[in-house]
Amino acid sequence: MRNQRKKKTDIPKWGTYLRERWRGRFASHLSLEEQKEIGMDGFLWHLCSWGKVECLEKEAAINAFHQQSKRTCTIFYQFTQEAYLFENAADLSVKELPYTDGHMDYSDLYVMDWEENWTFVMTHETDCGPYFIQK
């Protein structure tokens, strides 16, 4: 099993679905009104920047991401329908994430494990994030 190669599969049109799964899993302790008040309609990661969830930030978040068992995880963005499924991704590193800060649509990236136990978020704001939430 250890020698299986990392596999990246495009899962187009999953963006909305995965964003809703993320919101339901990591922000369900807030009402929809509370989520709206902190701007989660624009950016899901406001959950972290507004301090509405316990999370790690910056280097601690990156370290936590690297330490996770990443058998299968999804990667999606704030403003597009594009998404990816990564399998056998145990050694997936931050440097390998399909993240580009030069294009706004791709500059807020969310990684969520398939079981929805944790998430890693990279934002377009240089002062905000990355963030890591463990359920």
Whether 100 maps to a domain, the answer reads yes
**Over the stretch 21-71, which tens digit does the pLDDT of each residue have?**
999 999 999 999 999 999 998 899 999 999 999 999 999 999 999 999 899
Whether 20 maps to a domain, the answer reads yes
Give the helix ranges, DSSP H, for the chain.
15-26, 32-37, 46-49, 58-67
Whether 60 maps to a domain, the answer reads yes
Whether 5 maps to a domain, the answer reads no
What is the span of the domain harbouring residue 101? 14-134
Whether 104 maps to a domain, the answer reads yes
Number of domains in the chain: 1
Model pTM?
A: 0.90
The C-alpha atoms of residue 7 and residue 51 are separated, in whole angstroms, by 34
**Over the stretch 61-116, which tens digit does the pLDDT of each residue have?**
999 999 998 999 999 999 889 999 999 998 899 888 877 644 445 579 999 999 99
Whether 109 maps to a domain, the answer reads yes
Whether 3 maps to a domain, the answer reads no
pLDDT at 69: 86
Q: Quick check: 112 and 129 in contact, CB under 8 A?
A: no
